[in-house]
Amino acid sequence: MAHLWSKGEALWRGVNTLFEQHGVPARAVGFWPCPAFSFAPEAPAGLPDRFYRAAYRCGVSLYQVSYVSFSHQDSDIAETLERLERGLREL
């Protein structure tokens, strides 16, 4: 169980940092193993769909509630964050 919490925290804190760095009004909120994406009320219309599509184009499949698994390792987290940063640049 500790693995899920530590990998989830690393991934979703990283995603929240990327949201802040790119000025995206969104957060990953909730439990680290399976947080939900929350978009601010003032977010542009369509932002969630645009974000999910940009992530998918960069090779990351996300859902409103996304999970880490026991198979995720530090290298997977780093690669995911790199890919998501590319996607956020498109927004």
pLDDT of residue 55: 98
Sign of CA dihedral 11, 87, 55, 30: positive
pLDDT of residue 18: 98
Ordered by start, the domain boundaries in the chain are 2-90
Two structure tokens written together for 24: 């995206």
Residues 29 and 35: their CA atoms lie apart, in Å, by: 5
In this structure, are residues 73 and 6 in contact, taking their beta carbons and an 8 Å threshold?
no
Q: pTM for the whole thing? A: 0.94
Domain topology for 2-90:
Aspartate Aminotransferase, domain 1 (3.90.1150)
- pLDDT level of residue 3 (50, 70, 90 thresholds): very high
Residue with tokens 């899920």: 4
Of 8, 18, 1, 16, nearest to 82 by C-alpha is 18
Residue with tokens 């769909």: 49
Which tens digit of pLDDT belongs to each residue from 17-72? 999 999 999 999 999 999 999 999 999 999 999 999 999 999 999 999 999 999 99
Higher per-residue pLDDT: 91 or 48: 48
- pLDDT level of residue 91 (50, 70, 90 thresholds): confident
pLDDT of residue 15: 98
